[in-house]
Amino acid sequence: MSASASIEASGVPLGRTSVSVGVFRFRGGRFELLPNIRVLTIQTRQGADPGVARFRYVFDPSNSPDAPQSFDQALSVDSNLAGVVQNDERLVVMTFYPDGSPLFLFDGFAQVPELDLAPSQERVSFSAFGVAVREWDTPIGGALMRDSASPKAGLDVETDLVTYFNPQGQPNATSPGAEARDQNGNLFPTFLDPGVLRNPDVRSMWTLPKAIRYLCYHKNPDQAYVQNPPGEEIDSLLDSRSPTNGISLQQGDPTTFGSRPLDVPDYPATGKAWPNVLEDLLRPNGFGMAFRLETGDDGLPSTRLDLFRRQDGSPAVAKDLFLQPRGVVLDPAQSNINAARLARDMTGVVNAYSVESELIRYEASFILAPGFAISASDAQDATALGAFDLSNPAFSSTNHDRYRLYVFDETGEGHWDWSGSRIVSTVASLAGLFGTDPAHPTPYANRRRVPLGELFTRDSNQKPLRARLSISTDYTGPQPTLWNGTGTWQPIHGGFSLLRDRLGIWISVANPNGWAIGASGVSGAPYPSGVLRGVEDQATSGRKRFALRLTCVVEGDKVLSATAKRRPSSPTTFQVLRRIDARDRYFKHLVAPNSEFNLTSAFVTDRDDSQDAQAEADSRRLAAEAGEVAGSVTIPRFTEAYRVGDRLRAIQGRGLSLRTNAGAPNEEGEVYPAVVGLTWDFDGKQQTILHLSDERGVSS
């Protein structure tokens, strides 16, 4: 249940003398005062927001003889009056410190004039957007691709390929030490074909710092309107942090937390503005961004991109509000609030996250069984054999799958039992594959499992091997089953396809009784000539029967689940869990002991993204586990003491802490609501409005 409070200070006014604010046309590095233009409001917000200001014309002949005095003059597109602000003209709003140095409040481009005409008055106002709006002019196009012939030091080529970070969870960034440089010497990775395989691997995953470097240094290299953050700041900030002892975490003390990199999700960026992509990547992991207007080294306005951790409550970034107790003589030096509406809401707390991967996949070798009935009459003469030959007029459509379909029969739909010479519905066991994985010992579901054609095992060039079918005439184990390691096996080099609906194969040659499987010169090969009599060898008494072994990849029933559980620091005693579908980026691949390519007696891990998934779970929990304080605070004067991204710690004088993780242990780092938006109101009485929220909206 949310709770809210209103603070209304009355009696002695809290306002102070208004500051003088001027509107200037900024052209060629020079400022031209526009006395006929009044700034009404300036708004800035956290995120991919350039900021906006509202202005109004002052129709007063004494102000400026060259200024428009009516709406028709102000709105004329061909006016030559000096006081008319044309579309896209650059305006700067500033005031001055006591020493005469400028304080820039807004820098942007004029747009959107509006007319408000009534019988008693006529008003012309217009908006202007901060200079960062120019970063939306050109969306992201094709990827900057590294020449795959020389991935370590090759040329980077501008392409029209989609700018796609970690497609389907595959690494496609250049490796450390192979970065490109922008015109200022900043390093950033470029894109690499994810199919380029080398030993050692030359690809790397796009982590959050790598992607931010690419967006800033490649998409904003000239910094004409926005200054990029330093690379070392990007690298040190954008990580996942989890408490070293499970409870205490203080952002300013590295000994209280562990740091791990954050992988970027499967994300296509082409067609989007780079600031929007930046926010999309930062926000789910608890980071914020803001465009900050400052005074550059040359004394001119300069807009800088600032990145920050939203849950950073360290004293360096936390600030106080002030309001004296009731009944005390008001001292404006000790009170800066005249109105506030705040709500402390714990209903949206999410204090546990489960980041879930694609289903765990296994490479294994399976002994198949005929998925059809076998009869001695099938091979009694040439006519009978012709009924299985697609090119023979005697072919019968009822034989579509006979002597072609071989299955593992994981659901007990029927297979041939050699010992009983009949079709049985016994379910082949996968306990040796799924039941012995220490991470997931729970029972599995008997369901159809589609074979995947690319193995985890690679050749000497790091290319994944294809699914392999082999044949043996001395294998004596059960059929179907997981391969037990026995038998002499000859690879089959074609003439079959993997089933698309269950675990098995279908022989695609015209005549299964003349199946060319590929000759073998290996001593002891069961079919050295490479021709298999698939009907006769099974239907004729006394012939040496064969077994088929399929090595492929199948899915299990469990995902790689990385869970960040509720910590004692959570303000609610209940665990509130959210599941994150991360199958696009996190995987676990195992090579089973019974795979023909596994020479050990244990599972071999080909890929395990557990730590990366855990880093994301920890990061999301940190961003969302505290309660929310939202609302607004009004300061009855202009002040620059607060800015977007600041944390508000308390209302001093009333002893009200704004801490949102108030139930945390004493050693736990403090979490406070943030200023997510700021409005300076100059229309009438000057005031500063702080819009508050801890910006927890990252639970989905």
pLDDT for position 506: 97
pLDDT for position 368: 98
Give the three-state DSSP class for 25.
strand
Give the three-state DSSP class for 57.
strand
Residue 675 scores a pLDDT above 80: yes
Work out the average pLDDT over 79-95.
89
Look at residue 524 and tell me if it is in a domain. yes
Look at residue 116 and tell me if it is in a domain. no
**pLDDT band with cut points at 50, 70 and 90 for residue 698:** very low
pLDDT for position 697: 41
Q: Which domain holds residue 216?
A: 142-271
| 477 and 567 inside one domain | no
Closest CA to 546 of 468, 452, 465, 469: 469
The domain total for the chain is: 3
| 237 and 267 inside one domain | yes
| 491 and 515 inside one domain | yes
Residue 5 scores a pLDDT above 70: no
Closest CA to 38 of 688, 686, 683: 683
Phi, psi of 615 (to 5 degrees): -60, -40
Residue 387 scores a pLDDT above 90: yes
Look at residue 238 and tell me if it is in a domain. yes
Distance from the Cα of residue 232 to its chain's centroid: 22
The residue from 555, 577, 601 where one domain ends is 555
pLDDT for position 78: 66
Work out the average pLDDT over 615-621.
89
Work out the average pLDDT over 47-58.
94
pLDDT for position 314: 56
pLDDT, tens digit, for every residue of 507-530?
Answer: 999 999 999 999 999 999 999 999
Look at residue 298 and tell me if it is in a domain. no
Closest CA to 194 of 240, 153, 241, 162: 162
> Is this model's pTM higher than 0.85 or not?
no
Give me Rg for the CA atoms of the chain.
35
| 496 and 582 inside one domain | no
Residue 490: strand pairing partners:
471
pLDDT for position 10: 43
pLDDT, tens digit, for every residue of 118-169?
Answer: 676 788 889 999 999 999 999 999 999 999 999 988 799 999 999 999 999 9
| 389 and 498 inside one domain | yes
> Mean pLDDT in the chain?
88
| 530 and 577 inside one domain | no
Under 8 Å between Cβ of 241 and 257? yes
- Detail the DSSP E strand segments found in 527-596: 531-532, 547-564, 577-581, 588-591
| 450 and 574 inside one domain | no
| 586 and 515 inside one domain | no
**Cβ count near 143 (within 10 Å):** 25
pLDDT for position 569: 73
DSSP conformation letters of 325-380? PTTSPP-TTT---SEEEEEEE-TT---EEEEEEEEEEEEEEEEEEESS---GGGGS
| 508 and 577 inside one domain | no
| 582 and 545 inside one domain | no
pLDDT for position 538: 95
Look at residue 471 and tell me if it is in a domain. yes
Look at residue 398 and tell me if it is in a domain. yes
The residue from 526, 555, 584 where one domain ends is 555
pLDDT, tens digit, for every residue of 246-266?
Answer: 656 666 677 777 888 999 999
Residue 276 scores a pLDDT above 90: yes
pLDDT for position 441: 59
**pLDDT band with cut points at 50, 70 and 90 for residue 200:** confident
pLDDT for position 657: 84
Structure-block tokens of residue 656:
């009200």
Give the three-state DSSP class for 275.
helix
Residue 117: strand pairing partners:
122
* H helix or E strand, kind and range, residue 96: strand 90-96
pLDDT, tens digit, for every residue of 287-316?
Answer: 999 999 999 999 999 999 999 988 765 555
Look at residue 585 and tell me if it is in a domain. yes
Among left, alpha and beta (phi > 0; psi -120 to 50; other), residue 100 is left
Instruction: Report the percent of the chain where pLDDT is more than 90.
Output: 64
**pLDDT band with cut points at 50, 70 and 90 for residue 437:** low
Question: Length of the chain in residues, anyone?
Answer: 700
pLDDT for position 406: 98
Work out the average pLDDT over 433-445.
70
Under 8 Å between Cβ of 210 and 231? no
Closest CA to 123 of 58, 43, 196: 58
Instruction: Report the percent of the chain where pLDDT is more than 70.
Output: 90
| 450 and 546 inside one domain | yes
| 564 and 550 inside one domain | no
Look at residue 580 and tell me if it is in a domain. yes
The residue from 524, 555, 586 where one domain ends is 555
Give the list of residues 6+ apart from residue 380 with CB closer than 8 angstroms, or none: none
